[in-house]
Structure 1
Amino acid sequence: MPAPALGQIVLVPADPAVNNGADTAPAIITRVWNDRIVNVRVLLDSDAIQWRTSVTYADSLDDIEYTHAWTWPPQV
């Protein structure tokens, strides 16, 4: 797992009601606390604005129903 850094794009769980039906959204890291905990600005597919603080790394967002998790996007 790479170390998170300021400005990197990660994925977070999202409420489909404010994200045009999608349950995942990209987010930009705005603060790194350590290798697992970061603050992010969520880029929703709507005009809603979300900031999340102290979100914790998860290997996958599958079956995660809370908002304080992040993971790396799939590598292409």
Structure 2
Amino acid sequence: MQPSIGRVVLVPMDPATNNGASVAPAIITRVWTGTSINVQILADAPGCAWRTSLTHVESLDGLDDAHDRLYRWTWPPKVGA
């Protein structure tokens, strides 16, 4: 799949700022390349969060470095997968 404006992706979140959830959906607002995007995060909390220049990873699992986690995104799992 190729990223495009308006598509939904998943980004890692600090559970303390996302009502206990470690992942949040985000809407693509800018596509830089096939793997680099900007997003607006739809957190389970008040406010509006933005992230820029995120890089695609196959999975958000195993991202240990807190700084590294801020700059990653992945596709949601396919329904029925």
TM-score w.r.t. structure 1 length? 0.95
Partners of 2:73 and 2:4 in 1: CA distance: 13
Question: Where is the helix percentage greater, Structure 1 or Structure 2?
Answer: 2
State the number of aligned residues: 75
- The residue correspondences of 1:26-37 to structure 2 (distance < 5 A) are 26-37=25-36
In 1, distance between residues paired with 2:62 and 2:2?
24
1:56 aligns with 2:50: no
Cα distance in 2 for partners of 1:20, 1:38 equals: 25
Q: Over aligned residues, Cα RMSD in angstroms?
A: 0.8
What is the Cα deviation at residue 63 of structure 1?
1.4
Structure 1 alignment gaps of length 5 or more: none
- Percent identity, aligned pairs only? 53
* Matches for 1:1-76 after TM superposition, within 5 Å: 2-65=1-64, 66-76=69-79
Unaligned runs of 5+ in 2: none
Post-superposition offset of 1:37? 0.1
- Indicate conservation of the 8 Å contact 1:30/1:40, yes or no: yes
Aligned mates of 1:57, 1:41 — CA distance in 2: 15
TM-score (normalizing by structure 2): 0.89
Matched position secondary structure for 1:22: coil
